[in-house]
């Protein structure tokens, strides 16, 4: 018993010292001790750079407005989660899992992967991606590493309970699965309503896996509108939030309405990409790009500009309309004492 208490006290001291060092170096500590990100190309920060896939963008003009240039972000600058990290008080972006190790993992990691989906096969017509099941396995590795750093599993779980978790995935289960009939047969097996149910069933199990790893403050982002095709999924996801909150009294889940927080119509150029794109809808390297990027909602055929990300992150963090988030926004979620 004495040794176990010693290990716990040592872990508490490690956390206290690290938080103190963070405050000294970067100023005031963030609102949450760590921020973990799961998703697809909308929030990928470089995990696909070394994978054999067409879904990677570690070349200019991607990153033209990012401080260190092209990093693998599918954007001219910061993604939604980069901006959310700033709003939460982090002084640096949350780094990608693929190239990050050491004590910095205590501040969180980004597991997102371009073309990834809820289903393992989604996006694989473009090559290898890190699907959500694998992202969760990667997070389990992180959990074990944090337990090792803190010298105590229970202390690590308590630490992870305080973190913020962002899950934005499902787009590729439609655009790079259901609607890619030459590669996948899901549209021949399921109606859109049935497919939404199948996705939500699998997603709910994946969310419970994340919960088992200590997640207690979780934002679930809906899928972008594709006509009316994704409405059943988003409706079921919002209902899942209610169920999770009813079943798990020590956790809080929120729904972020992608179509509400992202409003291309607010921009002067709402539906034309800023860069010249290839057959995949990604920017061509070494070709001219628009100069007035803050006027554009779209960077390439699928991904928002930094200006659009600033707007959507702001509404997800502090909702401007009741339809933006449910049952609360991110700023209120992270302040909860659970």
The residues, ordered by sequence, that sit 6+ positions from 67 with a Cβ below 8 Å of its Cβ are none
Domain range list for the chain: 38-334
| Residue in 171, 160, 52, 83 with CA at minimum distance from that of residue 122 | 171
Residue 20 confidence (pLDDT): 56
pLDDT in tens, the chain (338 residues): 454 554 555 555 556 555 555 454 555 689 999 999 999 999 999 999 999 999 999 999 999 999 999 999 999 999 999 999 999 999 999 999 999 999 999 999 999 999 999 999 999 999 999 999 999 999 999 999 999 999 999 999 999 999 999 999 999 999 999 999 999 999 999 999 999 999 999 999 999 999 999 999 999 999 999 999 999 999 999 999 999 999 999 999 999 999 999 999 899 999 999 999 999 999 999 899 999 999 999 999 999 999 999 999 999 999 999 999 999 999 999 999 98
Query: CB burial class (10 A; 0-12, 13-18, 19+) of residue 301?
Result: middle
Report helix, strand or coil for 27: coil
Token representation of residue 262: 């992202």
Residue 73 confidence (pLDDT): 98
Taken in order 168, 250, 206, 92, the sign of the CA dihedral is: positive
Task: Give CA separation, 167 vs 28, 39, 174, 300, 331, in Å.
Answer: 26, 6, 17, 22, 16
- In contact, 318 and 295? CB cutoff 8 Å: no
List helix spans (H) across 50-191: 80-87, 132-150, 153-161, 172-173, 186-189
Place of tokens 């049952």: 327
CA distance linking residue 128 with residue 123, whole number of Å: 8
Omega of the bond leading into 61 within 30 degrees of 0 (cis):
yes
Q: Which of 2.70.50, 3.40.50, 1.10.10, 1.10.3470 would CATH assign to domain 38-334? A: 3.40.50
- In contact, 200 and 241? CB cutoff 8 Å: no
| pTM, rounded to two decimals | 0.94
- In contact, 167 and 237? CB cutoff 8 Å: no
Active-site positions read 41, 300, 303
Residue 287 confidence (pLDDT): 94
């Amino acid at each position: 018993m004495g040794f176990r208490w010693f290990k716990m006290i040592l872990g508490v001291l490690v956390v206290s010292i690290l938080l103190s060092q963070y405050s000294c170096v970067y100023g005031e500590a963030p609102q949450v001790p760590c921020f973990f990100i799961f998703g697809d190309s909308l929030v990928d920060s470089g995990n696909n750079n070394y994978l054999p896939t067409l879904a990677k963008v570690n070349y200019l003009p991607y990153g033209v407005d990012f401080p260190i240039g092209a990093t693998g972000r599918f954007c001219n600058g910061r993604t939604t989660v980069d901006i959310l990290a700033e709003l939460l008080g982090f002084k640096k972006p949350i780094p990608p899992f693929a190239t990050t190790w050491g004590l910095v993992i205590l501040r969180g990691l980004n597991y997102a992967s371009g073309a990834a989906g809820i289903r393992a096969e989604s996006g694989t017509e473009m090559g290898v991606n890190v699907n959500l099941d694998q992202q969760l396995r990667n997070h389990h590795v992180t959990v074990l590493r944090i337990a090792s750093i803190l010298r105590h599993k229970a202390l690590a779980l308590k630490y992870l309970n305080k973190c913020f978790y962002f899950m934005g995935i499902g787009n590729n289960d439609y655009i790079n699965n259901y609607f890619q009939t030459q590669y996948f047969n899901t549209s021949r097996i399921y109606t859109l309503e049935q497919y939404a149910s199948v996705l939500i069933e699998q997603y709910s199990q994946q969310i419970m896996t994340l919960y088992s790893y200590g997640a207690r403050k979780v934002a679930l982002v809906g899928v972008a509108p594709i006509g009316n095709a994704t409405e059943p999924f988003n409706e079921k996801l919002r209902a899942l939030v209610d169920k999770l909150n009813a079943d798990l009294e020590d956790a809080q889940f929120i729904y972020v309405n992608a179509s509400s927080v992202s409003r291309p119509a607010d921009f002067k150029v709402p539906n034309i990409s800023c860069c010249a794109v290839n057959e995949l809808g990604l920017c061509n390297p070494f070709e001219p790009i628009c100069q007035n990027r803050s006027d554009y909602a779209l960077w390439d055929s699928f991904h928002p500009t930094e200006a659009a990300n600033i707007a959507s992150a702001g509404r997800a963090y502090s909702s401007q309309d009741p339809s933006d988030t449910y049952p609360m926004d991110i700023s209120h979620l992270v302040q909860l004492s659970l």
